[in-house]
Structures are given as structure tokens and as C-alpha cells.
Copies of this chain bind each other. A is one copy, B any other.
């Protein structure tokens, strides 16, 4: 972890959930951190996310679709953690163009900027399990066929492959992490655009019932955000990660009903209810999913350190003290 001391680091989506947690960690490691974020209200950016390090990072409000801004910001950086993305599956189906522009086209222009203006940079791209579609076998490893079920999954697939092709053809060192459900402090809790756990936690803490779709038997795996940050740092620090795709995953997958129960117990308050799948969600649901993370364990020594129960407790503690900065903002946006 000495790799980052005094290094120049750019994080796209840096005011978002994972980006801000990563920024806090990188500041601790002595890095000079610049955060790029568009602060589009529907996405994950929130200035409160960087409250603990706001005097120690440089914030640049801009959109990854802004080719000129990105071209400037990329120059001179040692590392680029490329985390900005449109994450809502439903939004990608209702209007597919912003998803395409952010998750595919902007990635290409970021890589073109690296190729022409900073080919020695090292990239880590935050991808998603979404492109596996409905699993043909479990646990899902990196050799599982790609079969995205929505526009978001397709565009993320394009975005990650641009990184791999630029690594392989141009030697722009890049690695790809296919994230599963990440949760923890600083996640978006206004709605389910980032993860359903966000809206669940908000509902628990604000006295509304948690709604679990279907029979609640769908299995998922969850990573606490600190574990995801660790994986990103390992990828950035090791040349063994170049050109590689790695799944993240957990040792304790759980079905949604059990997860809801665990959350209610951890909170000591609230309740959940099973409700029928909304049709637009059912059409793009993938059934059970959990990953085999053996490749990143073997290659980089990563494994998750925070179990689900512990992670949920830490997350609840954060939103108990800081929650108003997340859901009150939502109320303002609606008014």
C-alpha cells in the first residue's frame, strides 16, 4: 500500500459511494487525490460523502462525457480509478441513451485521452456482474458466458472490454473488477438506483416497511465497501492485474428474505414484507446469483474481511448519524 504515497490519483465518480470511500482511504495512504463527479441528482454523487477529507482532496465537478475536461484532468495522473457510471437498470431501459453515453462512449473517450496524453497511467475499471445475465451455473466465475439482460449490462460490457482492448493493443495498463452487490456507508439510499439495500436501509431507519420482491428466495452475494476499496487498490498496485477481469464475491451469500431479516435484527427496528415483482423489474431479473472470487484471491490475495452482519451494523451506524444528509436531500429534490 506504499504504492500510493505521494502519487497522483484521479477518481471518476469520486463523490459517489465507492469513489468517496476509496478517496478517504487513498488520502490516508498519502495520495494526491482528484475527484471528478457530475453530481447529477439521479446518480450517486453527494458532497457529504467526502466530509472527512474535504480539505485534503481536489474536487472537480464535471461529467465523464465532457471529453475536453477529461483530457485535461487525466494528464499527469499516476492512477485512474474509473468508477463513474450510470447504475440503474430500469433507467437504462426507459431511456437507453444516457446509459450508452456514460457507460460506453465516455469510457472510450477516457481511454483515448490516456492513449494520446498519458499512456503510462494505470487504470482500474469498476464493472458489474450484470453482464453475466441469469447465471447458467453457480457460483459464477469469470469464464461464465456473457449474456446481459438489459441495456445497462450491455453498455457496461462494452465499457470494460474497451479497457481490456486498450490494455492488450496499446499497453495502457488496465484491470477490470466485476462487482456484485456493494453496500456500506455513503451508498445512495434515496431509491434503489444503486442497490436495493440502500432503500431498505433508509426505510428501516425512517419507519417504513422494507419491500422484498417475489418470494424473497433469490440469492445474492454482498461486499462491504471497504473490501471493494481494498480490491481496487490491489489491482492498481499490481502489474499481475493488467488486462485481467476479476469477480468480487463473498463467502456468505444469502437470500433476500434472510437478508431483510438480518437487517431488521441488526437495526433492532422495522419490518419487511414480500410483495409481487413489479413487471418492469421482473423482465430484467436474473434469479439467483453469487460469484466465485477464486481468481482474485489466487492472483492478488484478496478476500472479503467483513461479513454481512457486521457490515450491515456498520452501515446502519453511519446512516443513524449521517442519514439526514442522504434522505433529506432527496426530499429537497422532490419539492
Q: Give per-residue flags for A107-130: 1 if the beta carbon is below 8 A from chain B beta carbons, else 0.
A: 010001000000000000000000
The answer for the CA separation of A169 and B280 in the assembled complex, in Å, is 9
Q: Give per-residue flags for A65-101: 1 if the beta carbon is below 8 A from chain B beta carbons, else 0.
A: 0000000000000000000000000000100110010
Specify which of B93, B108, B143 is in contact with A97 (CB 8 Å cutoff). B108
Interface hit among A1-9, A25-33, A153-161: A153-161
Once the chains bind, are A168 and B154 in contact (CB under 8 Å)? no
Q: What's the minimum C-beta distance from A158 to chain B, rounded to whole angstroms?
A: 4
Specify which of B108, B150, B154 is in contact with A96 (CB 8 Å cutoff). B108
Residues on the B chain within 8 Å of A283, using CB: 168-169
Residue from A93, A104, A145, A158 whose CB has the most chain B CB atoms within 10 Å: A158
Q: Which of A127-154 contact B (CB under 8 A)?
A: 143, 145-146, 148-151, 154
Specify which of B143, B158, B165 is in contact with A104 (CB 8 Å cutoff). B158
Q: What's the minimum C-beta distance from A173 to chain B, rounded to whole angstroms?
A: 16
Q: Which of A289-303 contact B (CB under 8 A)?
A: none
Residue from A154, A157, A283, A284 whose CB has the most chain B CB atoms within 10 Å: A154
The answer for the CA separation of A143 and B158 in the assembled complex, in Å, is 19
Q: A93-B169, A104-B104, A108-B100 are in contact. Are A154 and B158 (CB under 8 A)?
A: yes
Once the chains bind, are A149 and B162 in contact (CB under 8 Å)? no
Once the chains bind, are B169 and A161 in contact (CB under 8 Å)? no
Q: What's the minimum C-beta distance from A165 to chain B, rounded to whole angstroms?
A: 6
Q: Which 6 A-B pairs have the closest CB atoms?
A: A154-B161, A158-B158, A169-B283, A154-B158, A146-B146, A96-B108
